[in-house]
Each structure stands twice: as C-alpha cells, then as structure tokens.
Structure 1
Amino acid sequence: MKSLKKDLLKEEFKVVEIFRTIEGEGRWVGLPVVFIRLEGCNLRCSWCDTTYSYDGKSYTVKNLYDILSQVKQYNLKRVCITGGEPFMTENLDVLVKVLLDEGFYVFIETNGTMWNEKFREIKKDNLYITCSPKPPFYFVNKNILPYISELKFVVDENLSVNHIIKPEFTEILKNDIIVLQPESNKPEMVEKALKIQDELLKLGIESRIIPQCHKVLGLP
C-alpha cells in the first residue's frame, strides 16, 4: 500500500461486513476467499438471504486503507465483492482496481442490471464477474455483457428455460458457463433444476447444478 496515493487511500465505501469464508456459490465454490459486502441493492428478491445489506443501517463507512488492511490480515489471494448489489457503489471501480493492483483475484457478484463506465479502463485479467439475473424480467444491462465470466440462475418458481436462452446471453451460453442454483437448497428446486438441465441439454447447452455450499457446511 506504500505505493498508493494518500488521496486514493481516503476513498470511502459503505461496508456491511468483511469476513473470511469459502466461496459457496458458482464455479469458485470451495475456494478460500475474503468477502467484502457493500451496502445497497436496487432489487428486492423475495428469497433474498442478505436483506441486512440494504436496510440502510447495517453498514460502516470505511476508507480504502482500512479495507485493504483488513483484507490483507487473512493472507488470502481471492476477494469477493458482493452485496446487495455492488454496482450501486459509485466508486466500485476504485476498489476493484486497487485490489487487482495489489495482486488479488477479484470476484464480483452482481444482478447485472447496473453498470459503471470506468470499468472499461480496468484490465479483465484476474477479474471474474458472476452475473445472476433476477426475476421477473431477468434483465441484464447490455454494457456489462462482455465482462460476464459466469451466468448463475437461482432456480425458483419463476425461472424457466426461456429466461436462460435469451438472445443477449447467446455468446455467454456458448462458453459453458451456466450455473443453476436451487433456491435455498430446497429439494423441490433441486428437482426443478434437474429438469431445466435436461431441457438445456436438448438444446445443446450444458449447465452445472451447484447448491449454496456454504449453507450446507454451516458457514456464513
């Protein structure tokens, strides 16, 4: 951090929590990671399990120096920025760029509805963006599409194959980066995920069914 400008280290963020756990969802599942949960979300999903991330009172304002200091205490190389919706944080690009410059692999979990133009200036190396489109429209901002590393769909009562094979997802679907995540690990949603997986196979599309593994292990 010695090489970072003092003004940059003073950049402030609304942080709900920073903690060490394993990645419980998607293709990074099982890997040790430091979570940075930022405050705020533009959606209100009925099954959201982190409503405290947007209640407007569960956050602490931290500057970049304090965030980096806390992250480095865990001595890990992977950082996941989540929420809520992290792209609601206007200076998210600053946090991401600094983490990348400090040698971390950075993983962002987003619903895909928002965008930050300054991300065009960030190199994609070591930056992994998981987009989890949300019901009822499963809308994804066209500007973020080229940056998506993984599509993850929560399998709930709303999800259908048509939500997955939308034209704007065509290029991503070609790369076999589709994750089906049964809502809250419910048995009936596991069954539905298997059916959707079979429907996708008939279209020549492979997908992975991955539950919320951190919950299976009793981890945050």
Structure 2
Amino acid sequence: MFTAETAHRLLLGQGNWVTLLEIALRATVLFALIICSMRMLGRRVASQYTLFELSVVVTLAGAVGVPLQATERGLLPPVFIMMAVIVLQYAMAKWSVRSPGFETVISGAVSTIIHHGELQLDELKRAALSRERLFAMLRLRQVQHLGQLKKVYLEPSGDLSIVYAESPRPGLSILPKIDSRLREAVAVATEVSCGSCGHTEPDTQQQRNTCINCGDTEWIPAARELDD
C-alpha cells in the first residue's frame, strides 16, 4: 500500500527536506571543481564539447548514476541536482553573453600556436598539446610542412582553425619520420628549418648556431609541398 512513508522514501530516500539545500551546495561546488579540473587537463579532453558543456554532462551523469543502482536512495535529490545544474548553466550562459571575459574564464581563450610557419612553443606547452599530436591533426588537413601555414589557432574546444599562406614557402616537414623516402623527396637543398620550432633560414653556416627563435641547435632540411 502506498503510504506517506513510502512516498518519503521514494522521493528523499533516508534524507529529509533540509538535505536538499546541502545537495544544491554540493552540486555547485562539484560543478565548479569539474570545470577547474577540465581546464587543468587541457583542451584535448574537450574535443567534442566545450569545457562547460562537458562539465554539465559529467555532473548530470554523476547525479543520476547512484539512484539507478541504490534502492535506498530517493529520486528527488538527483532531480534537484539536475534542476540546479540547469539553472546554473542558464545563468552562466546569460552571463557569458553579457560578459565575453566570463566566457573566456569558463571555456578558455583562443590561442595562436603557429605564426607564419613557426611553432609557438610556449602556447603549445600552456595548452598541453604535443608537437606530434599537432602534426597529426595538421596532416589530416592535408598539410605537409609548416611553410604552408600563415596562422593556426587552437580553439577552446580543442579544434584547429587554419589560415593558409597565400604564397607557401619551404618550412619544417610534418611528415612521419618513418616515411624517410618521402621526407627526402620533399627536402629543399637551399634552406634549413629548426627542428624544434620550425624557424626557416637559408642553408649557410647559420645552421651551426642556435635558433634565434627558440635557442635550439638542431637544423634539418626544409621541405616543400609535394607535387600531385
């Protein structure tokens, strides 16, 4: 028989109405902690969602997971959590529209990781994005060397926005090292590139000195675009 005690157990489990305020506070604190954690993990984590959207998904998943498996837990607390997250999300979205700086704090800012064919190593380090991972993403865009690129932006979602150079020049090859024959085929005899940042100079005695851009001493033949 459905009684008041049964209704209380169904809605609140072993808690009471006062615990709803504590639950709302916990949801807000955990939501903020998740956003901070996602920011620290880097933008590669959020390749399909923005950090804010991913935080909402994780929070909602955590809210509904326990009541689905524990019969002693009521349904009202996770519903209350979901309502709190939705209200919080709506309020933060409205705030983001009014204050672009707030959106930057939540999701992160756009960063320039390649400028005129040269890697911005500090930005890569700040974004926790390795050169190998970046080169793989560029190869999927049919890029063969950095001289083809004017600027590459790393979006808050982890995607790349590419501005191609109007007049491509030789640059650091991003072809896999296992394909040595292809790398030799695209090598340019008159210019060399810094193996670290991609800074390219004429092939003189300069390659024996340190790179003026990053201070590295490894120089490799610059690459041209492979003809079709």
Shorter-chain TM range is: under 0.3
| Rg larger in structure | 2
When normalised by structure 1's length, the TM-score is 0.24
Select the structure that is richer in helix.
2
When normalised by structure 2's length, the TM-score is 0.23
